[in-house]
Chain A
């Protein structure tokens, strides 16, 4: 079964995702943690059972996600629903698909931004673009693209470097709601100032406002940026590789996975990259802790850009 949430739910969440807007009130259920009386070992057991239940009943495999983060997200939901125990949430989500939809949104943390970490895009321009120029055709995979901000950023970068025509970008995420939003290409207008600053620091060569038009409170990005992009749903845990890529970007997704699962997904990336293909991770994710370290050389250690050498 595929779970996809309705738009209003998704919209409500987005606000929260984008952080606390200055002047707004912080949300009330911030503790996001078990009551003191809760036995931590029992809590762990209940969470493991709940994740097993989600997997067996709905097919979503969160069993190897990083525990501390899963626990925080689940307690937020438990508090928001006025429940008391992890097991009571399990009961509800197994019997009510609508509850599962909400939990699914809780568990996939979709926070993102255009040109997030501008220095990464700068390094990409300087170190990766010259390599890409040597290829007649470039396949790029954005794994865990969330609502697509990163994908449009890359499309803009490639456009400005004259490489977009020969590129094909595959942008995927586990969560259908965000993939759908990514396809729409409308981002909150109030963030354009921040994105413009990021764009400039990322080495942008034009005027950022050329790329979108303001529509109500949204910024609609030029459909031309999408002409070589394919958005689709893909689960890194359960789905296979679907092509050979020159570049794979997977930023701030693996931090939500436990070590074993990270290693498995690195295996998937390794087999999906061509020889000398490029792997880009989030700025605090490292290959140094994985078994694939020796398969790659560093193109930029600060920006976590690697090249597959064996």
Chain B
């Protein structure tokens, strides 16, 4: 789970560029952007990675080998093995809300969840990251000194003081070091779509 806002495109590109196409965990990206932004974020990220980047359609299965991007103007919820979307009211002015996605991931996947809060100019993500940490998941916060917007990582650190503080250029290698060496059997099948 990666959440970001202001400065996020640059930071996200750096992170996904550092991951191998065989990376064993599915990656979910929640980035704030304007309600009518079309699917450009997925296209832009695709240029930086061998993983498949897709914008999430409702009920899409969650599979390793993919970077899933939350669509603009919907909340992205994590269910057992698939996604649901919702048009609930924005939370803290945001839809998608990082908190909403992180909390639902923590509640469904518990210890198996990794939360990463990157650059951003608001405080979204901190409640969600706390939930992930409280449920025994792994919390990473981009070192605010390396963030274009330090407010979001700072807020996340206030909420989760024990989170791992990692400079932007080392986040990918940190993720590789905690991921299983190869996809667990349940993830190994590629999604039949796209």
Contacts and interface: CB of A to CB of B under 8 A. Distances in A.
Interface of A: 16-20, 22, 26, 30-34, 36, 40, 66-69, 71-73, 109, 111, 118, 252, 254-256, 259, 262, 282-286, 288-289
A66 B59 CA distance: 9
A26 B95 CA distance: 13
A285 B84 CA distance: 10
Contacts of B90: 19-20
A18 B89 contact: yes
Contacts of A252: 87
Interface in B80-96: 82, 84-93, 95
Q: What interface size band does chain B fall in?
A: 35 or more
A215 B84 CA distance: 39
B78 interface: yes
A34 B103 CA distance: 10
Contacts of A26: 91-93
B59 A289 contact: yes
A286 B193 CA distance: 12
A30 B91 contact: yes
A282 B58 CA distance: 10
Interface string B27-41: 000000000100000
B138 to A, nearest CB: 17
Contact of A69 (B36, B82, B86): B86
Interface stretch (B127-135, B142-150, B176-184): B127-135
A68 B79 contact: yes
A46 to B, nearest CB: 14
Contacts of B77: 66, 68-69, 72
A284 B58 contact: yes
Given A40-B107, A68-B108, A285 B93 contact: no
Contact of A284 (B57, B79, B131, B193): B57
Interface of B: 36, 55-60, 71, 74, 77-79, 82, 84-93, 95, 99-100, 103-104, 107-108, 110, 127, 131, 134-135, 193
A33 B103 contact: yes
Contacts of B131: 33
B162 to A, nearest CB: 16
A288 B58 CA distance: 11
Query: Which residue among A16, A111, A262 has the maximum number of chain B CB atoms within 10 Å of its CB?
Result: A111
Nearest to A112: B87
B60 A36 contact: no
A284 B84 contact: no
Given A18-B89, A36-B134, A69-B88, A284 B104 contact: no
A282 B56 CA distance: 13
A255 B86 contact: yes
A286 B57 contact: yes
A20 B89 contact: yes
B40 to A, nearest CB: 13
A259 B59 contact: yes
Contact of A33 (B57, B84, B87, B107): B107
CB-CB nearest 4 A-B residue pairs: A68-B77, A66-B84, A255-B58, A286-B57
Contacts of A18: 89
B173 to A, nearest CB: 31
B57 to A, nearest CB: 5
A229 to B, nearest CB: 23
A255 B95 contact: no
A53 to B, nearest CB: 22
Given A109-B86, A109-B87, A36 B135 contact: yes
Given A68-B77, A68-B79, A255-B58, A34 B86 contact: no
